Structure 1
């Protein structure tokens, strides 16, 4: 098989059936302008041959790092399946239409939370955040909640995808796909 997206779809489909919580959770690694790494969990909200998409507040740390250094690594880990997938590549932003369409699918409370949060900034108390949430609730009462201008999505366009399958006695199987022009080159890695 020389199409990593077909294999991703197979593994992801199996994970959606077997993982109890957040089968779409992935670790996102970024680095700041000085090369200091940072990692956190985000949720996959779209994927295909053009990349892997997640959404966030563009005023938070992850977005600031990605806008300054548009490269990232992702990792899915499905413990019950004893599998992981690592993805590396350049990052770009999704267009406004895609961000608007996804934002419209979020629960109203999540939409309001996007207006209330200064993501990653110091918060004096939980009461301050809840007051801001109440203000957003009042502001948009009775109508739709538009996407905040500081909220959108990123797409990681993979140039490297590794599929790792746990095996007994640490004799794991590692399949590596690397971008090769318009296609992919496939190989194996020692465990």
Structure 2
């Protein structure tokens, strides 16, 4: 198992949070039993009440962290209303956590089309059949919708629904946390500053 301590060597002046995140995600890929890319996504509703749920990270680079959803869903509507969100990754096997906060942008149609085409056929049918977050009268109603769209797109490619696409969080802050004995944990925060990042070590 990877060493559980964050040393000053992990945070040299040239250290970049994206590079550290990439390493931690790779470590999680080797140790987590399921979905190392799972993350808690936080939004707020029109009344300012927080909302959180698990989603899967589908890509990240220097531009930000990408996930996909139905724009008509609760999370889709909440994000579109504020264009802000936060994520929290927690890898229990490694006793590590990463928090991400920032403004949100829509991914391009080309990005969404490319990812949608890579999904299993059943998942693409599901994107059409599910009126995500809205009341469902019965399981049979969902299965009927799946059957209808399966018949509609029995042959050829399945187009991406206009309401299904992705979001990218462009972080203004990332915080890395690592468990240490006696709750004297390592915490290091990176705040966007100009073209770079300001690093701050925090009390646990």
| Ranges in structure 2 where 5+ consecutive residues have no aligned partner | 1-11
Question: What residue number does 2:183 align with?
Answer: 170
Q: Is 2:135 the partner of 1:122?
A: yes
Q: Distance in 2 between matches of 1:23 and 1:126?
A: 29
Secondary structure in 2 matching 1:80: coil
Residues 22-64 of structure 1 show CA distances to partners (whole Å, capped at 9, x for unaligned) of: 0000000000122111000000000011000000001100010
Secondary structure in 1 matching 2:124: helix
Q: Distance in 2 between matches of 1:105 and 1:44?
A: 15
Question: What residue number does 2:41 align with?
Answer: 28
Residues 50-79 of structure 1 show CA distances to partners (whole Å, capped at 9, x for unaligned) of: 000000001100010000011111000000
Aligned-pair distance for 1:153? 0.1
Q: Is 2:129 the partner of 1:98?
A: no
Residues 128-170 of structure 1 show CA distances to partners (whole Å, capped at 9, x for unaligned) of: 0000000000000021111011100000000000000000110
Q: Distance in 2 between matches of 1:149 and 1:33?
A: 24
CA-based RMSD? 0.6
**What TM-score results when the alignment is normalised by the length of structure 1?**
0.99
Q: Is 2:192 the partner of 1:179?
A: yes
Q: Is 2:86 the partner of 1:82?
A: no
Secondary structure in 2 matching 1:122: coil
Question: What residue number does 1:67 align with?
Answer: 80
User: Which aligned segments of 4 or more residues in structure 1 are displaced greater than 3 angstroms?
Assistant: none
Q: Distance in 2 between matches of 1:140 and 1:27?
A: 33
